[in-house]
Structure 1
């Protein structure tokens, strides 16, 4: 059970809320605008120091306040050792993260509290830009191999340097050779980890998709960002004139993508809204299942308005799968009766009614 207790202060319409969640399923319900999604935002803030609804942090902080704070007691490794975790951030952007009495950085925080968010933005895995799908892949690569974050940072540095040189309109051949060699080194290693992760993920995804949707033909293929059948140094040389004209590197891991198709057609074009929700949810649930298998730890799932876009049958299938995992789940809905009947009597389910930013445990 990762989160034992939670205290939220000054996030949107939540002035101050403290509660002890269930180790398994937490249903947060209330009318629209009552603060349900804000509570999920608070958990997201605790794990990543940012909102999932806005890039402007000042909008997350309660009006007229200067700082948001979320404090918790967490069992990060699932071994019974509970330590305090606190995250604060002011409207100027200054962040403080303390765990067990020590300051930690964002990558350490992400490792402590692995979050999976399923909300309307999750549709972007099918409908959005490649950057959204790269983030999905990189979350998994980060949590499956500790070397990935160092490779990612090194590649970002090299890419920025190479692009800076390209923007000058010309590059000294010797200097270009040096930066291209580093670019290729990190590109190949990063891409190998990304591809390895997708290969590991696919069996879980296919199994979960079958349970949620049945016989729906979905293929997921990883695209590296260049033609890996050819040497990357040759491709970089071939693209040099175009890259100089554009002022940026046009091939490489920064162009990677996931191609999700149904019967050979883009899933975003072919599937219904409900099918899309189940496909993207299966991808997220598969990440949680694989994370647990590789790390022997559970994820924390933040699921906003689970019943939307799903009929009763598929809502039940979704809940039954969540029930059989070890993840701690925070699920919002308007009407708790839409989910009440789906859980077994021995499942630890807690219900919380939220109204005007105030949280009250119920039945």
Structure 2
């Protein structure tokens, strides 16, 4: 396939394979699908594995070649510039991707896990000490929960050790998250003001335990209840972002369209903050952008993508519903997708500019 441009619009009928293109990009960025938690649904029927290759050109002139192989059994095989790497985190650091699809509403009405993962995407890419602390915390949490499930036979000396370790890593995780969040909110408010007049949205970071009490004390005082439940109730693994409108949960007051605008503002702000912090762009994957957004708000969203300069991949059924939003884009390519075949369309005068890639 020819090199993609800054703005890439893929249109076609339902089931034509548009989203599969986005899925392939996400696979080569994170070695997994954004739609499926397991590999089997994305492997072609009758095959035992899938392979995706891509070449990335960063803004500082560095070219990276990445290959991903996922089989129905076993861990992913990841190769970067011909070298095998062992962890997905090494891959994720090269190719930051943000997804906006039908699940975007879960940022407002979903579980705390969704918002925690959203928060940690940004913290991972910006705060260098975060990932090691988070990984160590997860190991400690697993050990503590294992002890708790022993019930009356619990070893208090070992429990005290894991309480201490959890608390130590929790401080690093919380500090990283709070620093990131305070910076992110400023960017979010600016983006939201560009997208909608409904700017009375408040974001609040919740760290996962009482902010006035040291976690080690919380773990000690709640051990009886934790033992009954068989897991640790409090800590960074229970962190959340509260999203409110006029002091009430935003999902309960805002219309579906307003919710999508707020969620889009969260994603766009996250990419913009990444650019400001790292001097690099992330890549946006937008599946069916026109859905539930009126033309005015759709234009405002597209203007922000053009101004930000990030590479964007957008799917839709009718190209007329979106292509006109990019009149200002100098680097636009339209692709028609039919039965899995992706064909670039000739540039249109006044719409598609020449590429410098």
Answer yes or no: same fold by TM over 0.5: yes
Give the TM-score, by structure 2 length: 0.94
Select the residue among 201, 204, 212 that pairs with 1:221: 204
Structure-2 residue corresponding to 1:325: 308
Quote how far apart the aligned CAs of 1:346 are: 5.2
Alpha-carbon distance between aligned partners in 1 of 2:176 and 2:304, rounded to the nearest angstrom: 28
Alpha-carbon distance between aligned partners in 2 of 1:78 and 1:49, rounded to the nearest angstrom: 23
Task: State the aligned residue count.
Answer: 344
Structure-2 residue corresponding to 1:92: 73
Matched, 1:165 2:112: no
Select the residue among 68, 81, 93 that pairs with 2:62: 81
Structure-1 residue corresponding to 2:327: 344
Contact 1:222–1:257 at 8 Å: present in 2 too?
A: yes
Deviations 1:221-253 (A, max 9, x none): 010110011222222122111001111111111
Contact 1:221–1:258 at 8 Å: present in 2 too?
A: yes
Structure-1 residue corresponding to 2:246: 263
Which consecutive unaligned segments of at least 5 residues does structure 1 have?
1-17
Structure-2 residue corresponding to 1:122: 104
SS at match of 2:211: coil
Matched, 1:142 2:124: yes
Structure-2 residue corresponding to 1:14: none
Quote how far apart the aligned CAs of 1:174 are: 2.1
Structure-2 residue corresponding to 1:250: 233
Instruction: Give structure 1 regions of 4+ aligned residues with deviation exceeding 6 angstroms.
Output: none
Contact 1:302–1:329 at 8 Å: present in 2 too?
A: yes
Contact 1:28–1:332 at 8 Å: present in 2 too?
A: yes
Alpha-carbon distance between aligned partners in 2 of 1:93 and 1:58, rounded to the nearest angstrom: 12
Contact 1:69–1:89 at 8 Å: present in 2 too?
A: yes
Contact 1:57–1:93 at 8 Å: present in 2 too?
A: no
Q: Structure 1 93/34 Cα, relative in aligned 2: closer, same or farther at 3 Å? A: farther
Q: Structure 1 180/271 Cα, relative in aligned 2: closer, same or farther at 3 Å? A: same
* Root mean square deviation of aligned Cα: 1.1
SS at match of 1:342: helix
Quote how far apart the aligned CAs of 1:94 are: 3.4
Quote how far apart the aligned CAs of 1:73 are: 1.1
Which consecutive unaligned segments of at least 5 residues does structure 2 have?
347-357
SS at match of 1:221: strand
Matched, 1:335 2:318: yes
Structure-2 residue corresponding to 1:49: 31
Quote how far apart the aligned CAs of 1:340 are: 1.8
Quote how far apart the aligned CAs of 1:310 are: 0.6
Contact 2:129–2:172 at 8 Å: present in 1 too?
A: no
Alpha-carbon distance between aligned partners in 1 of 2:145 and 2:339, rounded to the nearest angstrom: 49
Give the TM-score, by structure 1 length: 0.92
